[in-house]
Structure 1
Amino acid sequence: MSDSLLFAPGTAATADAVGDAAFAQAMLDVEAAWVHAQADLGLAPAEAADTVARAAVVGSLDLAAIGVEAENGANALIPLLAQLRGAVTAADPAADRAVRFVHRGLTSQDVIDTALVLLLRRAADTTLADAEAVAAHLRDLAVEHRDTAMVGRTLAQHAVPYTFGLKAATWLQGVDTAVAVLRERTDRLPVQCGGASGTLAAVGTVVAGTGVTPLDLAGRFAARLGLRPAAPWHTARLPLVEAADAFALLADALGKLATDVVLLSRPEIAELAEPAAPGRGGSSAMPQKRNPVLSVLIRRTALTVPQLVAQLHLAAALADDERPDGAWHSEWPALASLLRLVPSAAASAAELTGGLVVHADRMLATLTDACPGVLSERITAVATPLLRDDQRSDAGDGGSAKERLTAMIAQADGAGAAGGGASATAHLRAQLRSAIPQDALDDAALEDLLDPTRYLGSAGAFVDAIVADSAAAAGRRADNAVTRGTAEEHS
């Protein structure tokens, strides 16, 4: 995806996090960490590590030149490294003491892969913060609207009574699952450290005679970056693919939420509305419109992400030999777009759910208008045994009790076509009252039978369970975050 915001509305807040400057700084951070790791183990002077760290600042680079020169080596690290070495030499000209420790023993893929992992982790942190806010908002909505009755829709048609609380809780389940997976996978992201072909042979030369092993240095390098030490994965791309899949899970969950909001905010339904904001949702030609732009942008992400992740899967499957020729390179634009789109969708979803307008009165009106059809399942189950097969309707039609009851409901729907659900329900009430004796179904029971808010099944219990599980999971994640922070402070 282009860095231009014109091609990616809604990503202004995330563009810098995965743009050229961010990628270059991540590579510089990796190079600096490598020299610091050498210094930690006595393989380089601490002064050299400090000199490299001071020089490893993206503001000192000519990114435009790096972009042009990257074509010569098929990656940006080669020209970036040349500029970094120049900056280190300029800062420490005496016998180039520091520059000789830069990049020694590494290969381009070690640095680029590790830089991508850093970008991925940073994007995940931002995304997870917003996703946690989404989950909190959804818990609030589910509790507030636990018993807010509405029409349940299946295959785009009215089905049975439902609750908005359960709809919000269903959204919550998807978000919570995605959050758990994304957190777990990003917490175990590995460093890439293998050298030219994954054997660390050059690093063996670096540490020869020091008592330090190549794995010691690789482990210290990982610790410096807060990453998991791991065997080289130059052509075993599952770490990136698994993390990308986790981002896609969140995009799926948010896409479901946004799709429902778009549908339920249609003027003819008008059960939901996005939060209003100055200048948002307008049309260039139709000033009366209030477009659900937050949901539109979230859906854009949900529709785009699967192809991006598919590219990463394809690259993983076709990563040949010990270093790939093209498959690796095809990952970068897909990953950059993924890390730009999903965090922006999470931010949009946090705003959307935090200010979602729920028109409970409209939901109830739609449900009432859909009666008695949406109660046909219940009416059939309750009333059929109360109709004797030898009974006939006033019209003299025959058929089984179930067939006659189905006909009654159809007649009521027809009678209510002009007068709405209340008229249809009144028509069916009269038919049932005539057909079923009081001792089998008294007036109070008949009213209960025809009340859509009395046929919500276990919706409330499901909401309670989902919200409780979500709150408990959020608490555990918060505790784990504190533990991680404390561990990092002492590492």
Structure 2
Amino acid sequence: MADGGLHGELFCDREMAALLADRAALQGMLDFEAALARAEAEAGVIPVAAADAIATQCRADFYDIAEIGRAATLAGNPAIPLVKALTQRVAAIDVEAARWVHYGATSQDVIDSGQAQQYRAAQDLILARSERLAHALAALAREHRRTPVIGRTFLQHAVPISFGLKAANWLGPIVSFHDDFMICGQSAHQLGGAAGSLAALGDRAEAVSEAFARVTASVGAVRVPWHTERRRPARIAAELGLLLGHLGKMAQDIALMAQTEIGELAEPDAPGKGGSSAMPHKRNPVLCTLILTAAKRAPGLVATMLAAMPQEHERAMGGWHAEWPTLRELFIIAGSALNQAVALIEGLQVFPEQMQYNLDLTNGLIMAERVSLALAATLGRGEAHHLLEQASRDCLASGRHLRDVLADHPQLAGRLSAEELDDLFDPTSYRGATDAIIDRILVLYEEERDYMSGNG
């Protein structure tokens, strides 16, 4: 993963890969052991000198990851061989201190806490990227507030909308995700011991628990162990799944609008980007493709996290283990998809002239709803709708503009003045609550900006 391998950074970028690499996982587990020793020394359970000796050996560079991995295959998890290796290193410098390594803790404390440290760093990266994406989408919504584009339902022309409205609707869920993920996306260290009661620490258990929370405050710790209460990782997975689903929606919209026959948008251009091995003229939407790839992988991963929640008694048999690669994979694909979404939106090419061309394709039919509503004032809604259906069929059959068909219609001709028709067939004036909706989403974005910038 470090160098991307054959697939480069198609599915995992280097920055996120580094945060979730085995070395980072190992360092997270070692940081737990150092924090545990400091907390126990603070509570008077182990000598301060022992805690210092243990901390000096808690550097990932001291350990052979492959060797620990081979031992983990037999042991059932990597914490067991790691604790053994750590104990040996501490014994080499202080035999007395070695007896206090991992004192009162269990493998799950080590693994969950080490992963929590990794996920906290990954969460920060996800939030930074979602912030950048929100800024780009807000700028797009403002710039194209009044740019008309055809709205499409069931992939067919419906009525005109503003491209700024579409961009604002892309923005809203990103703002909500950022807000939600700042809270429920936080993983946490835990200390529960063999069965979640810290019984091995006797009457000093509560003191150690308090000290451990203080020692790990900068990376987050909870006082109640969550060995088999797995809402925390499941909620993180669900939020990442929701994010990926929305990014997929954005990518799919853009890819459809970038089709040759539509041509309203295009991905950022670069030499060699989106080419075809067979067709020199191709410009494939590769960013959209990769975002959609992540969105299609996410549901199965989220489902695995939910399926892993019913865990047996005080230690899971398989469910906990299933979480390890699954949540890591969700962070990886979410980080990659966000990176690609930022590149996509920041460099998105918008073609208002083509949007206008497509608005004109149906010879005014996209304004039939508006004309029908205007006529309803004198004809009644049902009759007006019926007559506009007839006129629309005549428009399609003849290839004439709907306005010309109306002028020749025996029951509709003359009912609307030329000035009224000019306004009715102007897509830029058919806005409804467009500005209010855009403004509401932008207000939410502005309110979140302080939190995005760390000022909230």
Q: TM-score, normalised to structure 2's length?
A: 0.92
Q: Is the 8 A contact 2:184 2:236 kept in 1?
A: yes
> After the TM superposition, which residues 272-311 of structure 1 pair with which residues of structure 2 at under 5 Å, given as runs?
272-311=265-304
Match of 1:464 in 2: 439
Match of 1:487 in 2: none
Change (3 A) 1:246 1:403: closer
Change (3 A) 1:408 1:163: same
Q: Does 1:427 align with 2:425?
A: no
Q: Is the 8 A contact 1:151 1:363 kept in 2?
A: yes
For 1:349, which of 316, 319, 341 is the aligned residue? 341
Q: Does 1:83 align with 2:85?
A: yes
> After the TM superposition, which residues 110-125 of structure 1 pair with which residues of structure 2 at under 5 Å, given as runs?
110-125=109-124
Cα separation, 2, equivalents of 1:388 and 1:138: 42
4+ residue runs over 6 A deviation: 1-4
Q: Does 1:405 align with 2:407?
A: no
> After the TM superposition, which residues 39-438 of structure 1 pair with which residues of structure 2 at under 5 Å, given as runs?
39-90=41-92, 92-93=93-94, 96-187=95-186, 189-204=187-202, 208=203, 213-225=204-216, 226-317=219-310, 319-386=311-378, 402-416=385-399, 423-428=400-405, 430-431=407-408, 435-437=412-414
CA displacement, residues 121-155 of structure 1 (integer Å, 9 cap, x when unaligned): 11111001000111111111101111110010111
Cα separation, 2, equivalents of 1:311 and 1:4: 26
Q: Is the 8 A contact 1:200 1:214 kept in 2?
A: yes
CA displacement, residues 140-195 of structure 1 (integer Å, 9 cap, x when unaligned): 110111111001011111111111111111111111111111111134x3322111
Deviation at 1:353, TM superposition (A): 1.3
CA displacement, residues 411-451 of structure 1 (integer Å, 9 cap, x when unaligned): 123322xxxxxx524533533699443xx532111111112
Deviation at 1:46, TM superposition (A): 4.1
3-state SS in 2 of match to 1:34: helix
Match of 1:395 in 2: none
Change (3 A) 1:460 1:5: farther
Q: Is the 8 A contact 2:152 2:158 kept in 1?
A: yes
3-state SS in 1 of match to 2:136: helix
Q: TM-score, normalised to structure 1's length?
A: 0.86
Cα separation, 2, equivalents of 1:166 and 1:186: 29
Deviation at 1:21, TM superposition (A): 1.5
Name the aligned partner's letter for residue 279 of structure 1.
Answer: G
Cα separation, 1, equivalents of 2:388 and 2:321: 66
Note the residue ranges of structure 1 that are not aligned, 5 or more in a row.
Answer: 390-398, 417-422, 484-491
Change (3 A) 1:45 1:288: farther
3-state SS in 1 of match to 2:404: helix
Cα separation, 2, equivalents of 1:47 and 1:383: 89
CA displacement, residues 16-44 of structure 1 (integer Å, 9 cap, x when unaligned): 22122221111111111111222333444
Note the residue ranges of structure 2 that are not aligned, 5 or more in a row.
Answer: none
Q: Which stretch of the first structure deviates more once superposed, 134-143 or 294-303?
A: 294-303
Deviation at 1:279, TM superposition (A): 3.3
Change (3 A) 1:4 1:275: closer
Match of 2:23 in 1: 21
Cα separation, 1, equivalents of 2:420 and 2:183: 52
Q: Is the 8 A contact 2:39 2:215 kept in 1?
A: yes
For 2:427, which of 452, 469, 481 is the aligned residue? 452
Change (3 A) 1:476 1:197: same
Cα separation, 2, equivalents of 1:98 and 1:192: 23
3-state SS in 1 of match to 2:401: helix
Q: Does 1:11 align with 2:12?
A: yes
> After the TM superposition, which residues 473-488 of structure 1 pair with which residues of structure 2 at under 5 Å, given as runs?
473-478=448-453, 481-482=454-455
Q: CA RMSD in A?
A: 2.5
Deviation at 1:222, TM superposition (A): 2.8
CA displacement, residues 226-267 of structure 1 (integer Å, 9 cap, x when unaligned): 313231211111111111111112112211111111111111
Cα separation, 2, equivalents of 1:228 and 1:65: 30
